[in-house]
Amino acid sequence: MVKLVVGLDLGGTKIATCVMNEDGEILKKVTLSTLAHEGPDAVIGRIIESIYDVIRLANINKEDILAIGVGVPGPLDSEKGLIKNPPNLPGWVEVPLRDILYKEFKVPLAIENDANAAALGENIYGSGKGIKNFMYITISTGIGGGVVVNGKLLKGASGNAAEIGHTTINFEGPLCGCGNRGCWEAYASGTALARFAREGIKNGIKTIIKDIVDREGHIKAEHVFTAAKQGDKFAKELVDMEGFYLGVGLANMANSFNPNCIAIGGGITNQWDMFYEHMISIMQERALKANVEGLKVVKATLGPDVGVIGAATLAWRLVQ
C-alpha cells in the first residue's frame, strides 16, 4: 500500500492543501480562498472540501491517507487541537478544529502554529536538512518563526513557542498589532518598512517612493526596495535600517536558541542582497561570540509551498 499524508495550511486569505508521499514529494495541491469573513463554520466546510478535492485529484482513496497535519495562525492550543481567536480569522474563539476534522476523516491529526510547521518542513525537506538545531524565520507582513531543537520542534506549553516577532526590541517603541510596544515585527516586518516610508513622506522628506506606489496608492515594502535600487537617498536609509533591525533581532535569536543554522523565508528574501550583509554584520556585532561562531544564516528553500510541506511533515511525525 502506498503511504500518503495530507498537509493543510490554513491562512487568513488562502487554504492550501496537499497530498504528500514519504519522500516529501507533493503529489497534488489545491488552493481555495479562505473567505475568513464568512466565519468558522463556512471556513471549516471549505477545509473539509479541500481535503476531499485533493484526495480526488491525486486519484487516491480516503483510506490511503495515514494522517493529516494542519498549520494554523496562532494563538492556538496544539495539545487540545484548539484554535484560539487568531487576528486574521475573525470569530474563531476556541474552535476544536482537530476534533471536528477527526470526526470526518478518522485519522491521526496534528495542529500546530503555521510558522512552527514551516520550520519543521524546512528542517526535514529544505534548507535545514540534517541540521539538529535549526531555526526558521519568516519575514513578510509580520515576523514569525519556529525552532527545532535536537531534531524536535520546540512547541512550548501550548504550541505557541517562538512567537519571535513579538519579542520587544524597544520598550517605548511603536504599538504592535499584538497590543505590545516595540516588538521586533513593529520594526523589521514589511509592514513596518512601509510604515516608516509613509511617516517620512508625511514629514516632508523628499523621496521617489511616493511615485512608485501600487494602483490603489498604497506604499509597500517592495516599493522602498525599488526606490533604493534607483538611488533614492531616503529609501536607501530605510533599507539600511531594515538590515539593522533584522540584525538586532537575529542577535537575540542567536543568543536565545544557539542554532547551527537560521533560514529566512517570506517576501523579504526577494531582496536578499539588499540587506543580507548589513544584517549579518549587526548580528555578529551584537550577539555573544560563542553563539554566532559557525552560525549559518541562509535563505529558506521551500518557497511558497513551505506551509503545506510543513503541515504534511507534522502528519508524517504522527505515523513514522
Q: Where along the sequence are the contacts to Zn ion (CB under 5 A)?
A: 166, 176, 178, 180, 183
Residue written as grid cell 470526518: 104
Sequential DSSP letters for 205-259: ---THHHH--TTS---HHHHHHHHHTT-HHHHHHHHHHHHHHHHHHHHHHHHH--
Q: How many CB atoms lie within 10 A of CB 90?
A: 14
Q: Which is nearer to Zn ion, 183 or 308 (CB)?
A: 183
> Does the bond joining 108 to the residue before it have cis omega, within 30 degrees of 0?
no
Helix (H, G, I), strand (E, B) or coil at 46: helix
Beta pairing, strands 134-139 & 261-265: parallel
Q: Which is nearer to Zn ion, 89 or 312 (CB)?
A: 89
Q: Which is nearer to Zn ion, 178 or 205 (CB)?
A: 178
Residue 217: CB minimum distance to Zn ion, A: 27
Q: Each residue of 202-212: b (16+ CB within 10 Å) or e?
A: eeeeebbbbeb
Radius of gyration of the chain (CA): 20
Q: Which is nearer to Zn ion, 144 or 200 (CB)?
A: 144
- CA 67, 72, 78, 83 torsion-angle sign: negative
Q: Which is nearer to Zn ion, 62 or 181 (CB)?
A: 181
Residue 210: CB minimum distance to Zn ion, A: 28
Residue 164: CB minimum distance to Zn ion, A: 10
* Those residues with Cβ within 8 angstroms of residue 264's Cβ, 6 or more apart along the chain or in another chain: 136, 137, 138, 139, 297, 298, 299, 300
Residue 105: CB minimum distance to Zn ion, A: 35
Taking alpha carbons only, the member of 134, 108, 132 closest to residue 264 is 134
Q: What are phi and psi for residue 180, nearest 5 degrees? A: -85, 165
Q: Which is nearer to Zn ion, 184 or 275 (CB)?
A: 184
Q: Which is nearer to Zn ion, 183 or 241 (CB)?
A: 183
Residue 170: CB minimum distance to Zn ion, A: 12
Q: How many CB atoms lie within 10 A of CB 124?
A: 21
Q: Which is nearer to Zn ion, 226 or 256 (CB)?
A: 256
Residue 141: CB minimum distance to Zn ion, A: 13
Residue 174: CB minimum distance to Zn ion, A: 10
Residue 171: CB minimum distance to Zn ion, A: 12
